[in-house]
Amino acid sequence: MDYTKISKEEILNWMKKNLSEERYEHCLGTAECAKELAEQFHEDENKAYVAGLLHDCAKCFDNEKLLDIIHKNLKVDENELMNYKTLHAPVSAYCANKDFGVCDNEILSAIRWHTLGKKDMTNFEKIIFLADKIEPNTRDKEYREEICKILKENNGLDKALLRCYKETIKSLVKRELKICPATIDIYNNLIDITNSKECK
């Protein structure tokens, strides 16, 4: 498969063994959705498919294994360690490179930031972030349709991202979970970006 050193069949076999059935279906859906969004926004479709397929490859590792890989191999800001639900993102990027031979920096970065996000994401990174949230196999249909509608508007990528961050923050507050300071910074930045572009 393009951008990997092993075949698609080998990757899928690995994923079947290392992911839950629901997570496996989610990854397939994210890959297809990423490919569609890449076509819509004129990005590399094959690259987007690979990023979508591998974005959650470490999702089913237990927290001890995730933290072990992070502490031994990666530089992760302490704020990211506040919520265990985001630990799999940097580890998935690490595994994409180490286990599947992905060397493309754009793919690795998109996987790395698909949960928390960051300021000034590229369009490719935004696509993978959004595909994860709206893929058709496991995500809410009504929410997916809302985001897809927003994506058709002017400045649709940033507007869709802002809508996702609003939902994420609401969900974290509702569940009484900590909010990473970076999430608030990204949310504020997206408000500034969308407001400034609407005024032009």
Q: What is the pLDDT of residue 191?
A: 94
In this predicted structure, the answer to whether residue 13 has a pLDDT above a threshold of 60 is yes
Q: Is the separation of the CB atoms in 11 and 1 below 8 Å?
A: yes
Residue range 147-178, pLDDT digits in tens = 999 999 999 999 999 999 999 999 999 999 88
Does position 50 have pLDDT exceeding 60, yes or no?
A: yes
The whole-number pLDDT of residue 6 equals 94
pLDDT band at 1 (very low <50, low <70, confident <90, very high): confident
Q: DSSP assignment of 13-58, as one string?
A: HHHHHHS-HHHHHHHHHHHHHHHHHHHHTT--HHHHHHHHHHTTTT
Of 130, 189, 193, nearest in space to 160 by CA: 130
For residue 199, is pLDDT > 80? no
Residue 10 above 80 pLDDT?
Answer: yes
Of the pLDDT bands very low, low, confident and very high (cuts 50, 70, 90), residue 25 is: very high
C-alpha torsion sign, points 19, 22, 25, 30: negative
Q: Does 45 have pLDDT greater than 90?
A: yes
Q: Two tokens at 125?
A: 């990174």
The count of other CB atoms within 10 Å of the CB of residue 107 is 27
Instruction: Give pLDDT, residue 38.
Output: 98
Q: 89-111 pLDDT, tens per residue?
A: 999 999 999 999 999 999 999 99
In angstroms, rounded to a whole number, what is the distance separating the alpha carbons of residues 104 and 51?
10
